[in-house]
Amino acid sequence: MKNLSARRTLTGVVLLLGLCSLETQAQQKAPTFTRQDTLRGTITPERAWWDLTYYHLDIRVNPADSSIHGKNTIRYKVQEPYQIMQIDLQPPMRMERVMQNGKQLNVRQEGNAYFVQLVDAQQKGAQNEVEVYYGGKPQVSENPPWSGGITWKRDERGKPFIASSNQGDGASLWWPCKDHMYDEPDSMLISVAVPKELTNVSNGRLRGIDNNPNGTRTFHWAVTNPINNYGVNINIGDYVQFGEKYQGEKGVLDCDYWVIRDNLEKAKEQFKEVPRTLQAFEHWFGPYPFYEDSYKLVEAPYLGMEHQSSVTYGNGYQNGYRGRDLSGTGWGLKFDFIIIHESAHEWFANNITYKDVADMWVHEGFTAYSESLFLDYHYGTQAGNEYTIGKRASIKNDRPLIGHYNVNHAGSGDMYNKGANMLHTLRQIVNDDEKFRGILRGLNRDFYHQTVTTQQIENYLSKHTGRDLSRFFDQYLRDIRIPELEYRVEKKKLTYRWANAVEGFDMPVKVYLNGVETWLEPTTNWKEIKKIKAGTKLTIDPNFYVQDGKGA
Ligand SMILES: [Zn+2]
């Protein structure tokens, strides 16, 4: 879950581009980026040489002074010998010392990046580790989950209710890590000490609880699958737990629900949504990708986020998006938006993860479309169609869906609803729902637990649809214009072409000629059909996200 409208670095750009919404990307003025953006968003030489294999994040969270202290043990495999390692940690958190093989290492700080000078030789293929000690009062989130940081709240009984959320801004807001999405540890242990009357819920499975002499308890959560860094989370509160076993495609899936004590009864009712969510998404996308780590819904003091195997929930135990239907069709009130949307991210975000946030449409486009697929599964194709078409009203076409690479820059917030409408249009082109479903399942199988680029996804879709979709993706991902089908009926001749489109745009489109289904293969050059009835009326299938250029 991530709405980008509040992203501080983009505000000026959005205003600027709003004035010239018909320009193509090439004509738009590029935003400016800093060296810090490059250090954050690039696979720098100080990152590239080591492959992350394991994290043990071991921290104490102190609600009394809103601080976090502890260490992260980082294990890695040497790909190429190199002696400088980049670790990220954002002020006001401070790195206190870095150790390797019992030696304290010299560290040079440059803003959010720390460059650690390793002493011992780094031999190719070796498995090494560093321990990073750190602490401080992390940034407080002003508007979770859209602005990153820690949320320090209290529940209605006055007990601390605390959570992290940091997509986009970065996990290094609160713990030291390789804060770039291309590399994930193969597994992770998250150990969090909190005052003994509270519980911490993180990702994966609860391996044990230690009672400490200082009046705290440490919760150890083990994740046995690769995990992206923004997915790692802490949720601390007066939690109670219930659960169920879901009979899924890969066997029994443990589903555990952690909610604030007073919300138990409401949660038992509302979370009946989970089995039917899993049923719909296993149908469309294939097996839930983290059976080993279980599925969890965890109540959070903000709307929600796709934390891996620890989906956070704050939708107020009601259907819709905070009780509203984002599509304006009524279908959005048939389900709890946060449960459906954030759970779908287990496939598109946590299973298949972008390497660069510029390709964030891969997470949000497929996930926004999953809402329609959920409706399709439970209420029929027409329901899903209406929902997706209904969400067009909120598309701005302000900037392309793809952002700038290597500077931690995401594309337009249209990646949600325009992304969904692009995929819905693609589904019409495929014109075979079983084939389309096979492709969605194939993506999750062939890119299982991987980080990807948009190009990999685009190539996969071209290959498996059997059609070169490069112009299609250029149009919808890299341009802001919505293609317009221009056509004229003159006497007994129909002429048609794509206008307002990228060069060579060649998408087929389903139309009705006097109500009779007909496929056209327009290009940006005029084509014609002869010998139609005079006065034939053409209507475009409304499932295609295009403009009707009648009378052009
Ligand atoms: Zn999302």
User: What is the 50 CA–ligand 1 centroid distance (Å)?
Assistant: 30
**pLDDT given for residue 6 in this prediction:** 37
* 453 pLDDT more than 50: yes
Query: What letter does residue 511 receive in the DSSP assignment?
Result: E
Percent of the chain whose predicted confidence (pLDDT) is above 70: 94
For 503, counting Cβ atoms within 10 Å of its Cβ (0-12 exposed, 13-18 middle, 19+ buried), the class is: exposed
Q: Which residue has the higher pLDDT, 11 or 2?
A: 2
If DSSP states are collapsed to H, E and C, what string results for 189-215? EEEEEEECCCEEECCCEEEEEEECCCC
Q: Which residues pair with 540 in a beta bridge?
A: 511
Percent of the chain whose predicted confidence (pLDDT) is above 90: 93
User: What is the 429 CA–ligand 1 centroid distance (Å)?
Assistant: 25
User: What is the 342 CA–ligand 1 centroid distance (Å)?
Assistant: 6
Give the number of residues written for the chain.
552
User: What is the 417 CA–ligand 1 centroid distance (Å)?
Assistant: 11
Q: How far apart are CA 469 and CA 455, in angstroms?
A: 11
User: What is the 360 CA–ligand 1 centroid distance (Å)?
Assistant: 10
User: What is the 357 CA–ligand 1 centroid distance (Å)?
Assistant: 13
User: What is the 272 CA–ligand 1 centroid distance (Å)?
Assistant: 21
Task: Report pLDDT digits (tens) over 110-152.
Answer: 999 999 999 999 999 999 999 999 999 999 999 999 999 999 9
User: What is the 1 CA–ligand 1 centroid distance (Å)?
Assistant: 3
User: What is the 209 CA–ligand 1 centroid distance (Å)?
Assistant: 32
**pLDDT given for residue 491 in this prediction:** 87
Strand arrangement of the beta sheet that strand 205-211 belongs to: 103-104, 94-100, 127-136, 67-78, 50-62, 187-195, 216-223, 205-211
User: What is the 343 CA–ligand 1 centroid distance (Å)?
Assistant: 9
User: What is the 115 CA–ligand 1 centroid distance (Å)?
Assistant: 33
User: What is the 309 CA–ligand 1 centroid distance (Å)?
Assistant: 15
User: What is the 4 CA–ligand 1 centroid distance (Å)?
Assistant: 11
Band the pLDDT of 5: cuts 50, 70, 90: very low
For residue 509, the surrounding DSSP H or E stretch is strand 509-513
Mean pLDDT of 321-337: 97
Q: Which residue has the higher pLDDT, 415 or 27?
A: 415
**pLDDT given for residue 552 in this prediction:** 52
Task: Report pLDDT digits (tens) over 486-509.
Answer: 999 988 999 999 999 999 999 999
Query: What letter does residue 336 receive in the DSSP assignment?
Result: B
Residues around the ion ligand 1 (C-beta < 5 A): 1, 364, 367
User: What is the 410 CA–ligand 1 centroid distance (Å)?
Assistant: 13
Of the candidates 430, 363, 347, the residue with the CA atom closest to the CA atom of residue 401: 363
Q: How far apart are CA 63 and CA 60, in angstroms?
A: 10
**pLDDT given for residue 534 in this prediction:** 87
Sign of CA dihedral 495, 501, 502, 507: negative
**pLDDT given for residue 85 in this prediction:** 98
User: What is the 473 CA–ligand 1 centroid distance (Å)?
Assistant: 20
User: What is the 166 CA–ligand 1 centroid distance (Å)?
Assistant: 13
> 213 φ, ψ to 5°?
-65, -25
User: What is the 161 CA–ligand 1 centroid distance (Å)?
Assistant: 23
**pLDDT given for residue 11 in this prediction:** 30
Mean pLDDT of 328-335: 98
User: What is the 265 CA–ligand 1 centroid distance (Å)?
Assistant: 27
* 16 pLDDT more than 60: no
* 9 pLDDT more than 50: no
Q: How far apart are CA 273 and CA 180, in angstroms?
A: 34
User: What is the 3 CA–ligand 1 centroid distance (Å)?
Assistant: 8
User: What is the 58 CA–ligand 1 centroid distance (Å)?
Assistant: 28
pTM above 0.75, yes or no: yes
Mean pLDDT of the chain: 94
User: What is the 341 CA–ligand 1 centroid distance (Å)?
Assistant: 6
Task: Report pLDDT digits (tens) over 456-489.
Answer: 999 999 999 999 999 999 999 999 999 999 999 9
Strands 450-452 and 352-354: parallel
* 154 pLDDT more than 80: yes
* 315 pLDDT more than 90: yes
User: What is the 190 CA–ligand 1 centroid distance (Å)?
Assistant: 24
User: What is the 165 CA–ligand 1 centroid distance (Å)?
Assistant: 13
Mean pLDDT of 89-94: 98
**pLDDT given for residue 26 in this prediction:** 44
User: What is the 363 CA–ligand 1 centroid distance (Å)?
Assistant: 7
User: What is the 131 CA–ligand 1 centroid distance (Å)?
Assistant: 33
Q: How far apart are CA 190 and CA 232, in angstroms?
A: 9
User: What is the 251 CA–ligand 1 centroid distance (Å)?
Assistant: 27
User: What is the 54 CA–ligand 1 centroid distance (Å)?
Assistant: 26
User: What is the 348 CA–ligand 1 centroid distance (Å)?
Assistant: 9
User: What is the 466 CA–ligand 1 centroid distance (Å)?
Assistant: 29
Task: Report pLDDT digits (tens) over 432-445.
Answer: 999 999 999 999 99
* 8 pLDDT more than 80: no
Task: Report pLDDT digits (tens) over 42-90.
Answer: 999 999 999 999 999 999 999 999 999 999 999 999 999 999 999 999 9
